[in-house]
Amino acid sequence: MQIDDVDRRLLRFFQSQPGASAAELAALVGLPKATCWRRLERLEAAGVIAGVEAIIDWRALGFAVEVALRITLDKTERNAFDTFLAAAREVPEVTEIQTFLGRVDVRLNVLARDMAHYQEIYRSRILNLPHILDIEQLMLISDVKTDEALPV
């Protein structure tokens, strides 16, 4: 799909104001409302716009601890990745799962209310996940940059 300068301008405004209506975006971009709506539809149909999501501040809900777990799996076990990933998806406090090539195979992001809650999650859920060879725990101290907007 070809993206022109108008699409880029539209995407910049859409990223910064995802709740804006097509009419509001059209005014910002300098397009007629119908043209703006058609461009948004085209970008969505092409998969450029994958969706719009609500971002909830987990700290405001009482979750004060975030830990990234870097996990190395025992790859001598058949289907270790698939079995591990299926089990990790079932842990409600795991908010993100990423797989990697290299020494670390998987990264889990875990949220907890406090250190006691994290310790309970770690001991009762994480350590019971299958095929773990090694775990490195990285506790989040601060978010320096969390912007997911692309420089389009």
Average pLDDT of 79-89? 97
pLDDT tens track for 1-24:
899 999 999 999 999 888 899 999
Average pLDDT of 124-131? 98
As a whole number of angstroms, the distance between CA 30 and CA 27 comes to 5
Q: What is the pLDDT of residue 1?
A: 83
**Phi, psi values for residue 71, rounded to 5°:** -120, 130
Average pLDDT of 127-141? 97
Answer whether residue 77 shows pLDDT above 90: no
pLDDT tens track for 39-66:
999 999 999 999 888 888 999 999 999 9
Q: What is the pLDDT of residue 145?
A: 87
Q: Which of 125, 67, 135 is nearest to 91 (CA)?
A: 125
Structure pTM? 0.78
Instruction: Say if residues 120 and 108 touch (Cβ distance below 8 Å).
Output: no
Average pLDDT of 73-84? 94
* Mean of the per-residue pLDDT values of the chain: 94
Burial category of 143 from C-beta neighbours within 10 Å (exposed 0-12, middle 13-18, buried 19 and up) = exposed
How do beta strands 106-112 and 132-139 pair?
A: unpaired
Q: What is the pLDDT of residue 104?
A: 96
Instruction: Say if residues 59 and 74 touch (Cβ distance below 8 Å).
Output: no
Answer whether residue 99 shows pLDDT above 90: yes
What confidence category does residue 70 fall into, taking pLDDT thresholds of 50, 70 and 90? very high
Average pLDDT of 62-84? 95
